[in-house]
Amino acid sequence: MRTKKLIKTFEFSEENRSRIVLGSSVRLNPVTNRLELQADSNGSFPTANDLYAKTWATTPANAKGWLGFQTDSVMKKIDGVPVTQYRFRLGDGTAQRYWNGTTWAVTTTAWNTEEEVANHIASFPVSSRTIQVIANLQTTDSTVTPELSWIKILYASDIEFQEDLVYRTLVRQLRAQVRPLAEYQVVKPTSSSKFVFDPDALDTPYNFVSVDSVFNHTDDSNHLTDLFTSFNPSTHEITLSQSVDAGKQLWIRFIYEPEVAVDTNREYHEVGKVPALVLEDINLENASEMGPADWVLNRFTGTGVKVPAPLRGDLVVTLLIETSKGVDLQRLADEVKRFCMNNPLITSLGLDEKYRLWMNKEFDQSGTSNQADIHTARVEFRLVNVLYYSKDPVNVFGVLGFHVDGNLNLSIEAEN
């Protein structure tokens, strides 16, 4: 299997505050963007050994294995003796685990050092594709606090970025969330509060979902009173809140799921299945290489991986709307706009990263229906600053220490 090496970074920054769980006596410093202990009214930091914070759980759907672990922490010393300590557990979405020397055992009390996690994270379960870090901050001196800035996890992924963004993310979310309304008129056959409505008998092949409302159009042409009570999908029977006389015209408003497809070649585009949303044009714009590269280093073995900077750009998508009725075209276009307005952020399933969704053109209808009586319109939107990791990662080696033979003079100058 061809895989890529990617990095998930948990930054303890102010913008991530809502996603971080702060345990008792642990705070997020909004100035330094670091986790630290909360001092009491006398300025003393707690010395308990069970104080912690949790990162958010991330679920990159294409993860194939966890490869590396690194933190950015400030080790405090007094008279040359370390007085702060950082320990960790990993979560898999359902349980917290620690390395017990043999396996990743479930626990809520035991902890690992960074070295233990880094050396054994490769055997942490990947079946759930979920990983979370629980960080334990400790000090043995009440005058100083530990400080933790970020945690990085290196993982293997078989993601294909265009496929992930278009097919697995955008198409899937359109299919799951776009639910327009359509209407159908029937004449009440008998005087009662029930009648049969068969979605398979509709003149357009809608992917029927459910009944939304029913109106007595004969007596209530403005459709002010909804008579719908229930719909039995097995018998197709609709129950109304009151009896309606035979011969009255009922307007049934129902919810359906439009077809969603990607049009790569007009020869293979089936216009007969409508209503439909077709991703007609997909273009990457304003692409540039981010920098610098990122890395995860095992600070105890000196081995690590450098991941070159990704390509960042805007993915611009033209969405073709096709219906057999003009009124369906307007309603489906409104539903697409509602989708965009209610989804300002789209989450990439493969990376578990959020991208901003902007609408460029809300509605573009040119001309009338074609010879096949198909009405068409287009909307255009873009996913902003999507990432493509195209360059291969590089193995790197850290400096674990250095030896000086003779005198060494170091000077540090502050830059004004």
Residue-level pLDDT at 410: 62
Residue-level pLDDT at 373: 75
Domain 4-157 -> CATH class: mainly beta
Q: Is the pLDDT of residue 298 over 50?
A: yes
Which DSSP category does 73 fall into? E
Residue-level pLDDT at 414: 53
Report the pLDDT averaged over residues 349-374: 82
What band does 164 get if pLDDT is binned at 50, 70 and 90? very high
What's the pLDDT tens digit per position in 69-111?
Answer: 999 998 899 998 999 999 999 999 999 999 999 999 999 999 9
Structure tokens at 366: 């040119």
Report the pLDDT averaged over residues 359-369: 78
Residue-level pLDDT at 273: 75
Report the pLDDT averaged over residues 34-61: 97
Cα 358–chain centre separation:
16
Q: Where are the domains of the chain?
A: 4-157, 161-178+260-396, 181-256
Residue-level pLDDT at 411: 65
Residue-level pLDDT at 399: 78
Question: Shortest CA distance to 379 belongs to which of 313, 325, 312, 322?
Answer: 322
Q: Which residues pair with 84 in a beta bridge?
A: 139
Listing from the earlier edge strand, what are the strands of the sheet with 181-187?
A: 181-187, 249-256, 208-216
Q: Is the pLDDT of residue 371 over 60?
A: no
Which DSSP category does 117 fall into? H
Residue-level pLDDT at 10: 98
| pLDDT > 90 in the chain, percent | 82
Is the Cβ–Cβ distance between 170 and 317 less than 8 Å? yes
Residue-level pLDDT at 363: 86
Q: What is the pTM of this model?
A: 0.86
Residue-level pLDDT at 270: 46
Mean confidence (pLDDT) of the chain: 92
94-97: long-range pairs with CB below 8 Å, 24+: 94/128, 96/134, 97/124, 97/125
Is the Cβ–Cβ distance between 337 and 319 less than 8 Å? no
60 preceded by a cis bond (ω within 30 of 0): no
Q: How far apart are CA 254 and CA 334, in angstroms?
A: 16
More confident residue, 98 or 416: 98
Which DSSP category does 171 fall into? I
Q: Which CATH architecture has domain 161-178+260-396?
A: 2-Layer Sandwich (3.30)
Residue-level pLDDT at 416: 45
Q: Is the pLDDT of residue 272 over 70?
A: no
Q: Is the pLDDT of residue 398 over 90?
A: no
What's the pLDDT tens digit per position in 166-200?
Answer: 989 999 999 999 999 999 999 999 999 999 999 98
What's the pLDDT tens digit per position in 332-355?
Answer: 999 999 999 999 999 999 999 999
* Pairing of β 345-348 and β 353-364: antiparallel
Using the structure block, give the residue that is written with the tokens 């077709």.
278
